Amino acid sequence: MQLLWTYIVSGLTTAAIYAIAATGLVLTYTTTGVFNFAHGGVGMMAAFTYWQMRFGWHWPAPVALVLVLFVLAPLFGALLELVMMRRLDGTSDTTKLVVTLALMLATIGAATWIWNPNEARPIRKFWENSVVTVFGVRLPWHQVIALILAAVVAVALRLLLTRVRLGVAMRACVDDRALASLNGARQSRVAMASWAIGTSLAALAGILIAPTLNLSQLPLTLLIINAYAAAMIGRLRSLPMTFVGAIILGVSTDLLKGYADRISSWTSIDSKFLSGFYQSWPIVVLFLVLLLLPQNRLRSHTATRNREYIVKPTWPGTGLFVGIIVGGAIMLSYVLPKADLFSLNKMWGLGIIGLSMIPLVGYSGHISLCQLSLAGVGMVVMHHMGAHGNPIALVWAAVVAGIVGFIVALPSLRLSGIYLALSTAAFAVLMDRWIFVLPKWKLFGYSFDLFNGGNLNIVKTRLFGMRLTGYRSFFVFASVAFALVVMVVVLIRRSTYGQRLIALKDSPAACATLCMNPKITRLSVFTISAAIAGFGGAIYGQAMQSVTPQSLDFVAGLSILMVMVIGGLTSPGAALFMGMFLGSPFVANVAGKVVPSFSQLQTVLVGLVGIGLGKNPNGFIPSDIRPNWNIFLKHRAALGAVLVAFVGLWILRRADVFDNWVFAWCCLGLLALAPVVLRIITKEPFPPRREPGAEVPKLSVPVDQLGLTGPVSDEDARTLDQMLALPSVSG
Amino acid sequence: MGDALLELRGVRAGYGGIEVVHGVDLVVERGQVFGVLGPNGAGKTTLMKVAAALHPPTAGDVIVAGRRVNGATPDQLARAGLCLVPEGRGIFPNLSVRENLWMNTYAGASMADVEAAAYAQFPRLKDRRNQTAGTLSGGEQQMLALARAVATRPAVLLLDELSMGLAPQLVEHLYDAVVAIARQGVSILVVEQFAKTVLGAASQAAIMVGGRIVKVGTPAELEDELSAAYLGGH
Amino acid sequence: MALLDIQGVCVRFGGLMAVDTVTLSAERGKVTGLIGPNGAGKTTTFNVITGLQQPTKGRVLIDGEEVNHLAPHKRARRGMARTFQRLELFGVLTARENVMAAASMSARYRDSKESPAVVADRLLERVGITEVADVPAGRLPTGQGRLVELARALATKPRLLLLDEPASGQDDAETQHFAGLLRQLADEGMAVLLVEHDMGLVMSVCDYLYVLDFGRLLAEGSPDEVRHHPDVLAAYLGREYQ
C-alpha cells in the first residue's frame, strides 16, 4: 500500500509537468488554430538555455529562471507569432503542421549544434537533497515544486482567462476571430500573447523535466511530446480536461514503471521485452486517445482558397527524366572514386522512401510521419530473407511493409490533419523505441530476432546470377530501382486512381456522394505507399550495409519529409533532390569546408527552409524548376544538344582533361544556363515564378494600411472576406 | 438631404467578374430605420459589406456623415461610428454575457457604461449576465449582439438579417429596440429577407431584386410589389 | 411509389431544431422544388438525404426501402447524386478530370461501357462548358464551377439528383439554358430535387414545391398553389397578408 502511494504521488509530480506543457499547447492551439508540434523542441531549447546560464556560466538560479521564463521564452514565442505563425492564417492544416514540424527540426538541430551532445551536462534539481514527508511519503522538494507550480499555472490561467480583458479576448478569438476584431480587439496582440504564454509554459516544463534525465536534445524533446497525449485527452480545447489527462498519463506511467516486475511475473513476459513499452507508454496513450476521439463528420471544404497544385507529368517527360537518371548514374559510376560512390549509394534508397510520400502525402494529403519506420520494416525483412542475396526478398520487403502499413492505417482511417500526423508519429516512436530494440524472442516455436540485437546486416542482392557487390554495379542497380518507382508514381498520378486520390484530398464529402468509399481508398493508398517505403528501405539498407535503430528514429524520418516538402511533395524530382541532399557526401563536403559542424547545420537549414514554406506550399521543383525546363519538351533538338553536351563533358572527364570538381561545376552550370540560353535564342518568354491562381492568399499590404496607399483591389477584398470568414455572397 | 448619415451613390459590386449589385442609390436619414428587402441572392449582403467597407465597390461612392469614405478600412469606419451586426449571431458563445459586453469596451466606453446601456435596453440580459452566451435563447443572443450597437453609440448601424431563425414575437421585440435606438439619432440600415419582419419598424424601405433597387417608398407603398418580387408571377 | 421519401426527419444542433419533422418525396420524371429562407434547413435536409448528416429522428427511404443506416457512398451507389451550395470541386483537377474522377469512382455501380474520358467529354458538352474542360476547376468562376459539379453528379448516372442552389452565380442566359437542361433530365426519368433562391427558375421549372421555414414544412403544392398559399405569403410578406 505504501508502495502504491509512493508511485501515485511521484506520478502526480510527473503529471504536474505534463500538465504545464500540455496547457501551453492547448492555449496556443485554441486561440490561434496552430497545433505547435515544436512545443517539445522549444521546451528543450529553454532547458538548455537555463543550463547554460545556471551551470555553464554559474549565474544564480533565480536570475536564470527569470530570464528564461519571463524574458527569453515569451520573447521567442512572440517572435514566432510575428514572423511565422501570422503568415499561416488561411493556409491548409497540412501547411501549418509542416511549418511547426520544421520548427521542431530546427530547434533540435540548433540545440545539437550549439551544445555538443557528446558532453555530459549535469543539471541539478532544485534543493536537491531536501525531502518533505507528505502522507507518509518522502517527497523531494523538486517534486513538491513541480506540484505547486502546476497549481499556480492552473490558477493563474484561470484568472487571466476570466478576469483580464486580454484573456477574455483570447477566449473570444477562440469563438469568433472576425467578430473579435469587429469589436476592436487586435487579433495580432491576442495571438502574440498566447504564443508568449504558451512558450513560457513549454520552457517551464522543459526546465522541470530536464533533471529527471540527462540533458540531451532528442530524449528531452520527446519527453515533452509525451504531454501531447494529455492535451489530446483535453481534446485540445478544455484546460481542466487537459489537467485530468495529465494526471491519468503521469500516474499510469509511474505505476507501470513501479510495478514492472510484478507485471512481468504476472504475464510471464520477461521485463526486457517490456521496458521499451513502458518507455513509450505515453505514446501508446496518445495513440489510444486518438483512436477514441469521436468520429468526425466527413470534412468538406474549408474557407481557405486552394493555392496548391499538382503537376501532371507526361510520359515523354518522365521517360526523359528516368533516362537521365539511369544514364547519369552509369556515367557517374565511371568517374567517381569508390569511396564517394559508396556514400552516394544511399541516395537512391532514400529517394525511393521519398517517392513513397508522393501518393500518400502529396496526392491524397495524408501526413504520415512513419515512412522511415516502414522502410525499417523493409530492412528487417531484407536482413532475414535476403541473407543470401535472394532478389525475391525485395518483393517481400514491399509486401510485409505494405501489410504493416495497412495495419497502421486501419485504426487511423478516420483521422486526418494533425490527428493523423500524431498517430503516425506515435507509431514511428513506438517502432524505434520498442519494436526495433526488442531482444530475441520465441513465439509458437519460431524464434524472432528483429533487429539482430541492435545491428542489422544487410547483404546486397543477387540479380541474374550476379552479386551486386561492386560499387559500380550496385549504384546503377539502385538507380534503376529508383527510376522504376518513379514510373510507378507517375503511373498513379496519370491513372484514374490518382485522380481519385487527389479528389479525396480536395473534398472527401463530394467523393462520398459520388460512390467512392473514402475509407477503402485511404487504406489502399496507405498500403501502396508503405510498400514503396518498404522497398526503398530494402535498397537503402543494402547501401548502408549495417543499420542501427537510431538511424531510423523519428527525427531522421522528419528530415526526409521536410526536404521532400521543400522540393515539392508532388514531384518525383523532389525525391531525387532529397536523396542527394540527405544521402550524398557532396553537400556535406562542400559546405563542410565553410562550416565545420555542417551535419547539425544541415538539420537547422532544412528546418529553416521548411518554416518559410507558408509562402510557397508547392515546393520549389514544381513552382520554379519545372516551368523553367518545360521549354525543352517543345524544342527537342535543343534537348538533344544539351544531352550531347553532358556526354561530351563526361568523355572529357574520362580522358582526364579535368578533375571531378570541374566536371561537377560544368554540369551544374549547364543545368542552370541551358533553359536561359534557349529562351534567349527562341525569344520565348520566361515563365512567371508562380502559376496564376496559385497566389498566396495574403493581403498586398497589412490590413490596417489597406486602402490607405491605394484603392482596395478585388483580390484583397476577397482575401479579406476569407480572413473575416464572411460568407461569400450567393449571386 | 443634409442630415443623411449614410448615403450610397451608384454602387456597383461583384465577385470575380460577376456583378451582383448593379448600381444602387439610397439615403438613410438621421434617426431613420431604412429597410432593404428582397429574396436571397438579391445582393443585399454584398451591399451591406460595401457599406461597411468589407467589400470594395467597382463603382459608386459610400458617404458616411457627409464624408466620402471609399477606400477606408473596416476598423477605420468602425472607429468613425459605423457598426455592423453581421448575419448570424454576433456573439461569442463560450463567453458569459458579461464577458461579451466586456469585449465591447474596446471601442472606448467603460465597462460600467456599456453594462448600464445594455441592461437598460435589454433588462433580460442583466438577469443572465453570468450565463454562458451560447446557452441563451436565439432571441437573447440577438439582443446581446444588438447590445453592442447600443453600448458603443454608433452614428450608423447596419443590421444584416437580424430576424434570421427567430420566432415572430421575438423579432417584434428586437425591432422595438431598433426603433428605440433610431430615436436616439442613429441612422439604421436593415437588410432582411422577410418583408414581415421589418415593415413594421422601418420608416422607409426599398425592394431589391437581382442586384437592383426596384422600388423605394414607405412600407405601405411597397405592398403591391412584394408578392411579385418574392414569389414571381402575379 | 416515389423514388425518394423522407418521413418525419428531425435534426437537432444543440438547442436548435434545424429540421423539424419534415416529410417530403421526390418522384421520377419530376422536378421537385424545396424553397425557404436562409437557415430554413434546406441544405441540412440534403445532408440528411445523402447521409452526410445523421437525422435525430425520422427515416429516409429510396424505392420504399430505408437507407438510414447506409453510408453516403452506399447511398450514392443506389443512384443518388448531388451538388453543393458551397462548391465542393476537386480544385486541382481540371474540369474534365473532375468528371472523369466521378465516372471512375462510380464505374462499377452503373451499367455503362463508356470509358471515363468519353463520359466526361459527353457531359461537359451537355452542360455546355467544353471550352473550359482543361482549366483546373478551382480557378473557374462560381457559375461554371456549379456546372462542373452538375456534370460530375451526372457522371454517376443518378436516378435521383439533388441540386443545392445550382443557379447562383450564373447570369440570366446561363440560368435559361440551365432550366432547359433540368427539364430534359426530368423528362429522361430522373427525379430532381432542387433547392434554389431564384424564384423565376423555381416557378418555371418545378412540378411540385415544398416550402420550409424554421426547419418546418410550411406548405406544399404546385407552384401556383404555393404562390397563393396564405401561410407562405404571411411568412414571406408579413402578418397583414393573412
Question: Measured in Å, how far apart are chain A's first and last C-alpha atoms?
Answer: 71
Residues C157-173 have a mean pLDDT of 87
The CATH code for residues A2-292 is: 1.10.3470
pLDDT digits (tens, 9 = 90+) for B137-193: 777 888 888 888 777 778 899 998 887 767 667 788 888 888 888 888 889 999 887
Confidence bin at A592 (pLDDT 50/70/90): low
Q: At CB < 8 Å, which residues of chain A contact B?
A: 162, 165, 168-169, 171-172, 174-176, 178-185, 703-704, 706-708, 711-714, 716-718, 720-721, 724, 726-731
Query: Is the pLDDT reported for residue A717 higher than 60?
Result: no
pLDDT of residue A714: 56
Q: Name the pairing type of β-strands C208-213 and C216-221.
A: antiparallel
pLDDT of residue A709: 44
pLDDT digits (tens, 9 = 90+) for C177-229: 899 999 999 999 999 999 987 888 898 999 999 999 878 898 999 999 998 88
pLDDT of residue A680: 85
- Residue B187 to residues B6, B10, B52, B178, C121, Cα–Cα distance (Å): 7, 20, 14, 10, 55
Cell of C187: 423528362
**Which residues 6+ apart lie within 8 Å of A287 measured at CB?**
A423, A426, A427, A430
Query: Is the pLDDT reported for residue A519 higher than 70?
Result: yes
Residues C13-18 have a mean pLDDT of 75
Cα–Cα distance between C187 and C30 in angstroms, integer?
8
Of C142, C143, C236, the CB nearest to B230: C236
Which chains would you list as touching A if contact means 3+ CB atom pairs under 8 Å?
A: B, C
pLDDT of residue C163: 95
In eight-state DSSP terms, residue A308 is -
**Quick check: A590 and A546 in contact, CB under 8 A?**
no
Q: Name the pairing type of β-strands C16-26 and C160-164.
A: unpaired
- Assign residue A133 a region (left: φ > 0; alpha: ψ between -120 and 50; beta: otherwise): beta
pLDDT of residue A703: 45
pLDDT digits (tens, 9 = 90+) for A606-626: 777 776 665 666 777 887 777
Q: Is A309 on the interface with C (CB under 8 A)?
A: yes
A:B CB pairs within 8 Å: 98
3-class secondary structure per residue, chain C: CCCEEEEEEEEEECCEEEEEEEEEEECCCCEEEEECCCCCCHHHHHHHHHCCCCCCEEEEEECCEECCCCCHHHHHHCCEEECCCCCCCCCCCEHHHHHHHHHHHHHHHCCCCCCHHHHHHHHHHHHCCHHHCCCEHHHCCHHHHHHHHHHHHHCCCCCEEEEECCCCCCCHHHHHHHHHHHHHHHHCCCEEEEECCCHHHHHHHCCEEEEEECCEEEEEECHHHHHCCHHHHHHHHCHHHC
C37–B194 C-beta distance less than 8 A: yes
Which chains would you list as touching C if contact means 3+ CB atom pairs under 8 Å?
A: A, B
Residue-range domain boundaries for chain A = 2-292, 320-621, 630-689
Q: Is A268 on the interface with C (CB under 8 A)?
A: no
**Quick check: C167 and C196 in contact, CB under 8 A?**
yes
B17–C202 C-beta distance less than 8 A: no
Residue-range domain boundaries for chain B = 1-81+154-234, 89-153
Could you tell me the sign of the dihedral formed by the alpha carbons of C63, C65, C71, C74, in that order? negative
Mutate to test the interface with A, among B54, B58, B212 (most CBs of A within 10 A): B54
* Residue ranges in A545-620 assigned as alpha helix (H): 554-567, 572-583, 585-594, 598-611, 620
Of C90, C139, C153, the CB nearest to A503: C90
* Nearest CA-CA partner of A74 in A224, A208, A192: A192
CA distance C4 to chain B (A): 26
Query: Is the pLDDT reported for residue A691 higher than 50?
Result: no
Cα–Cα distance between B49 and B114 in angstroms, integer?
26
A713–B95 C-beta distance less than 8 A: no
Of A300, A308, A517, the CB nearest to C73: A517
pLDDT digits (tens, 9 = 90+) for A322-349: 999 999 999 888 888 887 888 888 899 9
Cα–Cα distance between A577 and A560 in angstroms, integer?
11
Of B41, B107, B148, the CB nearest to A731: B41
Residues A463-477 have a mean pLDDT of 80
In eight-state DSSP terms, residue B19 is E
C106–A514 C-beta distance less than 8 A: yes
Confidence bin at A693 (pLDDT 50/70/90): very low
* Nearest CA-CA partner of B219 in B64, B19, B21, B36: B36
**Quick check: A196 and A32 in contact, CB under 8 A?**
no
**Quick check: C144 and C129 in contact, CB under 8 A?**
yes
Cα–Cα distance between A292 and A299 in angstroms, integer?
18
CA distance A504 to chain C (A): 8
B:C CB pairs within 8 Å: 76
CA distance B186 to chain A (A): 19
Query: Is the pLDDT reported for residue A34 higher than 50?
Result: yes
B74–A182 C-beta distance less than 8 A: yes
C236–B194 C-beta distance less than 8 A: yes
Of C101, C138, C169, the CB nearest to A503: C101
Q: Is A510 on the interface with C (CB under 8 A)?
A: yes
Percent of chain C's residues with pLDDT above 90? 57
B46–A172 C-beta distance less than 8 A: no
Looking at per-residue pLDDT, the higher value among C149 and B43 belongs to C149
In eight-state DSSP terms, residue A705 is G
B165–C214 C-beta distance less than 8 A: yes
Q: Is C58 on the interface with B (CB under 8 A)?
A: no
Looking at per-residue pLDDT, the higher value among A694 and A76 belongs to A76
Percent of chain A's residues with pLDDT above 90? 31
- Residue C70 to residues C13, C27, C51, C110, Cα–Cα distance (Å): 21, 21, 7, 18
Does domain C1-79+158-242 correspond to CATH entry 3.40.50.300?
A: yes
Instruction: Give me chain B's average pLDDT, please.
Output: 82
Question: Measured in Å, how far apart are chain B's first and last C-alpha atoms?
Answer: 36
Residues B65-85 have a mean pLDDT of 78
Cα–Cα distance between A504 and A511 in angstroms, integer?
6
Mutate to test the interface with C, among B20, B22, B40, B191 (most CBs of C within 10 A): B40
Query: Is the pLDDT reported for residue A701 higher than 50?
Result: no
Q: Is A503 on the interface with C (CB under 8 A)?
A: yes
Instruction: Give me chain A's average pLDDT, please.
Output: 82
Confidence bin at A242 (pLDDT 50/70/90): very high
DSSP one-letter string for A63-131: HHHHIIIIIIHHHHHHHHHHHTGGGGTTS-HHHHHHHHHHHHHHHHHHHHHHS-TTS----PPTTTT-E
Confidence bin at C152 (pLDDT 50/70/90): very high
pLDDT of residue C240: 45
pLDDT of residue A308: 64
Nearest Cα residue in chain A from C172: A731
Q: Is A499 on the interface with C (CB under 8 A)?
A: yes
Cell of A76: 521567442
**Where is mean pLDDT largest: A472-486, A642-656, B183-197, C126-140?**
A472-486
Residue-range domain boundaries for chain C = 1-79+158-242, 88-157
Cα–Cα distance between A361 and A490 in angstroms, integer?
15
User: What H or E segment, with its residue span, contains residue A512?
Assistant: helix A508-513
B71–A712 C-beta distance less than 8 A: yes
Amino acid making up residue C202: V
B95–A171 C-beta distance less than 8 A: yes
**Which residues 6+ apart lie within 8 Å of B112 measured at CB?**
none
Query: Is the pLDDT reported for residue A118 higher than 90?
Result: no
Query: Is the pLDDT reported for residue A377 higher than 90?
Result: yes
Which chain A residues contact residue C109 at CB under 8 A?
515
Q: Hey, what's the torsion of the CAs at A628, A630, A636, A638, to 10 degrees?
A: 0
Nearest Cα residue in chain C from B37: C237
pLDDT of residue B51: 87
Q: Is C238 on the interface with B (CB under 8 A)?
A: yes
Percent of chain A's residues with pLDDT above 70? 86
pLDDT of residue A171: 87
pLDDT digits (tens, 9 = 90+) for A257-274: 888 888 888 877 777 777
Which chain B residues contact residue C168 at CB under 8 A?
41
In eight-state DSSP terms, residue B96 is B
* Complex ipTM value: 0.91
Residue B108 CB neighbour total at 10 angstroms: 12
C98–A503 C-beta distance less than 8 A: yes
In eight-state DSSP terms, residue B61 is E
- The Cβ-side half-sphere exposure at A57, using a 13 Å CA radius, reads 10
- Residue A419 to residues A295, A366, A613, A655, B210, Cα–Cα distance (Å): 12, 10, 21, 57, 45
Which phi and psi (to 5°) does residue B28 adopt?
Answer: -115, 115
Of B78, B87, B99, the CB nearest to A168: B99
B55–A181 C-beta distance less than 8 A: no
> Which residue in the block uniquely carries the three cell numbers 482575401?
A719
Looking at per-residue pLDDT, the higher value among A308 and A711 belongs to A308
Q: Name the pairing type of β-strands B204-209 and B212-217.
A: antiparallel
Q: Is A730 on the interface with C (CB under 8 A)?
A: yes
Q: Is B164 on the interface with A (CB under 8 A)?
A: no
**Cβ-count burial A171-188 (b if 16+ within 10 Å, e if not):** bbbbbbbbbbbbbbbebe
A535: exposed, middle or buried (Cβ count in 10 Å: 0-12, 13-18, 19+): buried
pLDDT of residue A713: 56
Cα–Cα distance between A433 and A363 in angstroms, integer?
30
C200–B164 C-beta distance less than 8 A: no
Q: Is A308 on the interface with C (CB under 8 A)?
A: yes
Nearest Cα residue in chain B from C226: B231
Does domain B1-81+154-234 correspond to CATH entry 3.40.980.10?
A: no
Confidence bin at B39 (pLDDT 50/70/90): confident
- The Cβ-side half-sphere exposure at B221, using a 13 Å CA radius, reads 11
**Quick check: A180 and A187 in contact, CB under 8 A?**
yes
pLDDT digits (tens, 9 = 90+) for A406-438: 999 988 787 877 888 888 998 998 888 888 888
> Which residue in the block uniquely carries the three cell numbers 489597406?
A706
Q: Is C16 on the interface with B (CB under 8 A)?
A: yes
Which chain B residues contact residue C227 at CB under 8 A?
227, 231-233
**Quick check: A329 and A476 in contact, CB under 8 A?**
yes
Mutate to test the interface with B, among A31, A705, A729 (most CBs of B within 10 A): A729
